[in-house]
Amino acid sequence: MPKYFLTGERGTGKSHIVEKLIELYRVTGFLTRFDKRRKELYLRFIQGPEYLIGKREKKKIQPIPEGFLKASKEIPELETSSKLLVIDEIGFLEECCEEFRRAVKNLLEHSDNCLCVLRKGKFPFIKELLTLGGFETIEVTVRNRESILSFLIEEYKKAGL
């Protein structure tokens, strides 16, 4: 039951690790990605819909609570047995929607094999997630990202994924 939180500075390769694992294993979960102009942020379910969860206004990202609320209704439907649960990433926008936070926490607590990317910083929801039992936190740097990728590949292989 390998369960990991990945954290690290922006640009260190956390999403690179996630993308490589998605290529190798049967996965479920969701990714947050900007549009090409980096104006809108979407939460994209790996095998499903996507929801607008943030918009850049005056250089700052503003949360879209309705998008998080819609996504929170999809989360309980994710099938995690014999799959790797991937979440990339949890940050500060999630603070706007209690239902979403509750659904993510429940999903993480009840999944056996997880990789969840957490934005670096002191945010209440991330602080709460870090108290969950059974998770190991790994800090990714440019120097260690390839060795962390190799380590995670081996861990999930041993778990039978």
User: Tell me, what's the pLDDT at 153?
Assistant: 96
For residue 51, the model assigns a pLDDT of: 98
Distances (CA, A) of 104 to 58, 79, 97: 29, 13, 11
What tokens does 137 get? 């936190």
**C-alpha count within 13 angstroms, C-beta hemisphere, residue 65:** 5
d(C-alpha 143, C-alpha 83), whole Å: 29
- Nearest 5 degrees, angle CA 69-CA 126-CA 124? 85
Tell me how far apart the alpha carbons of residues 50 and 71 are, in angstroms, rounded to a whole number: 8
Determine which helix (DSSP H) or strand (DSSP E) holds 154, and give its type and residue range.
Answer: helix 145-158
User: Is the pTM higher than 0.85?
Assistant: yes
pLDDT at 58 (0 to 100): 86
- DSSP characters over 24-55: HS-EEEEEEEE-TTSSEEEEEETTS-EEEEEE
Which residue type occupies 55?
Answer: K
| Strands (DSSP E) found in the chain | 3-7, 27-34, 40-45, 50-57, 60-63, 84-90, 114-118, 136-139
pLDDT at position 59:
85
Low-confidence ranges of the chain (pLDDT < 50): none
> What is the set of domains in the chain, with CATH numbers?
3-32+79-158 (3.40.50.300)
pLDDT of residue 55: 97
